[in-house]
Structure 1
Amino acid sequence: MMQSLKYPFVLLAFIAFGVMAADLGKSGMIDRDFSLAIGKTVEVEGEDFYIRFKAVLEDSRCPANALCTSQGNAQVQLEILGTYDQHQTIVLNTDNEPKAMTVKGHRVILIALNPSRIDGESISAGDYAVTLRVESPAD
């Protein structure tokens, strides 16, 4: 009985990895900026985890063609995927804190959210991309 229950779980794991692999972009370099489109996943080069750009939760940034009293803020949701389906959801901000979080001993930093807002124009959810940096652990 136990043996027959194991196979559906193995099949589900392969299906889940296949879905993730379809969204997998290039490798994210350690200590260098890289870009990640919404809905895409990147393997952190040489490490045992992936980062998926899940959503833009808020975008109140000052439009590039406007004068504002503050820069505003954008808030993004990232999912950190490890081995054996271990995952963690983090939320980072462009202007407010936190702008970075420590994950699996590495510091994940939100550098930018693109494209910039333009007054009078809307940004389609699928057009967003984040610029991230993953810093190696301090020795």
Structure 2
Amino acid sequence: MSTARLGRWTAALGIALAVAGCVPAEPAPPPELGTEFTLAVGDTAVLEAGRVTVLLSDVTDDGRCPEGAMCVWEGDAVVHIETTVAGRQSAHELHANPQFPTEAHTDGYRIALRSIQPPGSAGEIPLAEYRVNLLVTRE
């Protein structure tokens, strides 16, 4: 094989491998009722074949005790979600601290906040780093 021809094959193989590496992974299957799932801020979960959607719109007021620190109070963070059930929209605040509402009830469904990652921090956590675990069940 000539050097020029080998060079063309090498270039073609490199392009093919680069394109193959850019193919997105299979999308995650939609969450099911009764199964905990994770959302980042701005993500939406679609459940029950589109009957229920949950959008994580924001995480605010994060004053949780930093991991490894000794705190008098565990603190709190507020998770803002928007739900749509059978076309009816509503907004809810869920709290990390169980002294406040950790779940919302809407149109026969319960949406429960299970956890927020990362754990509390002494510094500000960038919004893009938050991951919120939620659980949706029928009432």
The one-letter code matched in structure 1 to 2:89 is H
The one-letter code matched in structure 2 to 1:124 is P
* Residue equivalent to 2:131: 129
Identity %, equivalent residues: 25
Label 1:89 to 1:26 Cα distance change in 2 as closer, same or farther (>3 A).
Answer: farther
Conserved? CA contact 2:61–2:77, under 8 Å: yes
Conserved? CA contact 2:85–2:107, under 8 Å: no
Corresponding residue to 2:79 among 60, 72, 76: 76
Aligned residues: 112
**C-alpha RMSD over aligned residues:** 2.0
Secondary structure at 1:59 match in 2: coil
* Residue equivalent to 2:17: none
Deviation at residue 107 of structure 1 after TM alignment: 0.8
The CA distance in 2 between the partners of 1:37 and 1:65, in whole Å, is: 24
Label 1:46 to 1:110 Cα distance change in 2 as closer, same or farther (>3 A).
Answer: same
The CA distance in 2 between the partners of 1:125 and 1:29, in whole Å, is: 26
What's the CA shift string for 1:37-83, capped at 9, x where partnerless?
Answer: 11100102346120000001210100002110111001110011245
What's the CA shift string for 1:15-58, capped at 9, x where partnerless?
Answer: xxxxxxxxx97522211211111110010234612000000121
The CA distance in 2 between the partners of 1:38 and 1:26, in whole Å, is: 19
Which runs of 5 or more residues in structure 1 are unaligned? Answer: 1-23
The one-letter code matched in structure 2 to 1:100 is E
The CA distance in 2 between the partners of 1:29 and 1:42, in whole Å, is: 10
Deviation at residue 101 of structure 1 after TM alignment: 1.3
The CA distance in 2 between the partners of 1:136 and 1:46, in whole Å, is: 14
Which runs of 5 or more residues in structure 2 are unaligned? Answer: 1-26
* Residue equivalent to 1:108: 111
Decide which structure has the larger Cα Rg and report it. 2
What's the TM-score once normalised by structure 1's chain length? 0.72
